[in-house]
Amino acid sequence: MDAWEVWQESLFQRVTPLRSPDFVVDSLTRERLSLVVIDNIAAMISAASEPAVVELSAQRVSRTCLQEATTVTGHHIDAQSAAFVNAIAGGWNEVDEGYRPATCHAGLYTLPVVMAEVERQQGRVADVFRGLLAGYEVATAYARAFSPPKPYRLHPHATLSTIGAASGLSIVAQGDVPCVREVVPVAASMAMIGTFAHAPRGLLMRNGWAGQAAVGGFTAMDFASVGLLSDIHEVRCLFEDVLGFPMNDEEIASEREAWAILDGYHKPYACCQYIHSAVEAALALTADSACGIRPDTVERVIVRTHPLALNLDNTNPTTDLGAKFSVPHCVASVLTFGSTEPATFSSTYLDHPDIRRIRSQVHVELFDDVGPPPHDRPAEVTVELIDGMTFKSVCMSARGGPDRPLDRGEILHKAKSLTIDSRPNFIEAATALLEGRIVGSDSWSDFLQTAGLRNSS
């Protein structure tokens, strides 16, 4: 076998033992799995009342008589449709967790389908953990192996998500089902070609890709189960030859020892993670009383940032998504309010006069000498005031990643703030899961019921 084949075989061998219902994870990995579950479900709940999410859920309800799995919109429908709805909700508000070493939201890609399938089977919490761990491991592996050139032209929610969904399903599905080695090439062949520009332009179809990937994950399992197969060489052909993502020889030659989920991050701010360092730099300036920054005193703002954020320079976003992917909007909002509450980054203040004026004066430039991780996503914010004074702040690495992690209490507080109004019981279930009072052998449906997401039946 060549190096590529060895790498793939090693990946498949690493996750295949997760097929066993008796597989037990260590305490550190269990904690990370719990936090990823909590963070992602809270993200889903936060968008449950979005009109598009509500309407899509209603459409799915009208097309099925099955009652297999729960949506965050309060419906009990077929598993595939539940995963579809929950995946769309999960990425809507830009508060879901992500993977720091490469651009990939593997929890978003994997958890909705695994949750739905395990609930359909009346399975356990441990089954959700097994499927999530596998899908996260596989999706992030391909994100590391094929890193697209910067600035990104394609969005990972389109290119990677079906792989994560199908990999998780292959672990938790019961009976004589395709193994991960069979289903990954099939899922890869179903990758979507969604441009990254959807996000900074605020085009909401970007929020639909994770939902389509959930459907694609189930479909990939169906295809593989009847012999509609592909192979690992076509996976490489897709990423390297078709999409133009060069293979990372260092990754292919490496040997993994720890689960990828340990390298995830949790967002303290409800906007694209690429912007977080600029948000922190701007916040530091507003917190310094010596600067005396007020909205009416700002003349010009220069944001020097890393290559991934360089094209997020839309000074006139028109949607909630566009606001969350706009360096000018996020920085202008923080300078105006001195706050990082979720509404700061939303469409709520798109037409605020101070923010509109400051946005138009924000200039996005390249940060000189970007370093290696974790200092590969820095930002420097320079504010020039009307009176000629200039103030500068630098953030080399934003909070939330493995180098500056949020602690358990902060993640629970975030989850509570996102869910308390619509699902007040969620934080009780989340805390019990994290503290080990809800254990692997407990029913997943019972967890959902405790969280206020599922009615007793």
Tell me: do 249 and 361 sit in the same domain. Answer: no
> Using CA atoms, how far apart are residues 328 and 362, in angstroms rounded to an integer?
5
* Domain membership flag for residue 456: no
* Domain membership flag for residue 404: no
* 311 closest CA partner among 278, 274, 339, 348: 274
> Using CA atoms, how far apart are residues 270 and 403, in angstroms rounded to an integer?
20
Tell me: do 283 and 419 sit in the same domain. Answer: no
> Using CA atoms, how far apart are residues 343 and 103, in angstroms rounded to an integer?
25
pLDDT on residue 12:
96
pLDDT on residue 289:
78
pLDDT on residue 150:
87
Rg for the chain, CA atoms, rounded: 22
Tell me: do 166 and 303 sit in the same domain. Answer: no
Tell me: do 68 and 169 sit in the same domain. Answer: yes
Tell me: do 212 and 238 sit in the same domain. Answer: yes
**Owning domain of residue 154:** 3-268+413-450
pLDDT in tens, 314-331: 999 999 999 999 999 999
> Using CA atoms, how far apart are residues 23 and 37, in angstroms rounded to an integer?
18
pLDDT in tens, 338-366: 999 998 998 889 999 999 999 999 999 99
Tell me: do 255 and 297 sit in the same domain. Answer: no
Give me the average pLDDT of each 10-residue run along the chain (457 residues). 93 96 96 98 98 97 95 97 99 97 97 99 98 98 94 96 98 91 97 97 98 98 96 94 95 93 97 98 91 92 97 96 98 96 90 97 96 96 95 97 95 97 97 97 97 82
* Domain membership flag for residue 195: yes
* Domain membership flag for residue 408: no
Tell me: do 133 and 262 sit in the same domain. Answer: yes
Hey, what amino acid is at 210? A
Tell me: do 35 and 99 sit in the same domain. Answer: yes
**Residue partners of 23: CB distance under 8 A and separation at least 6:** 17, 126, 130
End-to-end CA distance of the chain: 52
**Residue 199's CATH number:** 1.10.4100.10
Beta partners for residue 77, in sequence order: 69
pLDDT on residue 455:
80
Dihedral sign computed on CA atoms, order 335, 341, 346, 347: negative
The CA-based angle 235-236-242, given to 5 degrees, is 95
Instruction: Specify the number of domains making up the chain.
Output: 2
Tell me: do 74 and 205 sit in the same domain. Answer: yes
Tell me: do 232 and 343 sit in the same domain. Answer: no
